Amino acid sequence: MRLYLIRHGQTEMNASHTIDTDYPGANLTERGREQAVGIVERLAGETVDAIWVSSLIRTHQTAAPLAANRGLVPVQREGLREIEAGIWEGGNDEAAYRGYLSTIERWFTDSMDEPMGGTITGRQALMRFDAVVREIESTEASNVAIFSHGSMLSWWCGMRVAGLTWKHYIDGHLDNTGMCVAEGSLDTGYRALSWMGETV
């Protein structure tokens, strides 16, 4: 199976540098909507059999142009949502961002069971995303676009996609509508074909 793992477009909260992980989340900005339209062109030569989105509104809005172009109805799953920020929700200063991001850094090294700001652990976030990927693998689709979130995608890809490491999260965090393309399965392992448009 080939997965196109795509971060949502820019939101109002991204633009104000504010941590936003709660439901339903912020809407896309005008720039975010333009980025979403751009995905159609970027995937013009690729087969997409299905589209899956998280429960947060920004993934629905980002997926909408591609869904309309391909005549597909996105499938929503809670397991694709962003990692909940807990005590750092709504923060827009360096301390809040450092608290959120440094927790994920520790997950990558030796603290996967540490709660994020008093909420979900790294292991729990990984398992719920795994559950959705396994559900996708059980369908007849071979090429699937998954619209999710920057930290969630970086965490899952860093743990489940060969060729990527935690340094991709630190040094090459997915920009809005940034994409990781991977092939394989959970049982045999996924391998990265590209990250942010660069061959891995």
pTM: 0.96
Separation CA 66–CA 109 (nearest Å) = 36
Q: How many other C-beta atoms are found inside a 10 Å radius of the C-beta of residue 137?
A: 15
Specify whether the CB–CB gap between 80 and 132 falls below 8 A.
yes
DSSP 34-93: HHHHHHHHHTTTS---EEEE-SSHHHHHHHHHHHHHHT-PPEE-GGGSPPP-GGGTT--S
Report pLDDT digits (tens) over 6-37: 999 999 999 999 999 999 999 999 999 999 99
pLDDT of 47-106, one tens digit each? 999 999 999 999 999 999 999 999 999 999 999 999 999 999 999 999 999 999 999 999
Q: What pLDDT shows up at residue 200?
A: 87
Phi then psi for 115, rounded to 5 degrees?
A: -70, 145
For Cα atoms 196, 58, 30, give the angle at the middle one, nearest 5 degrees. 80
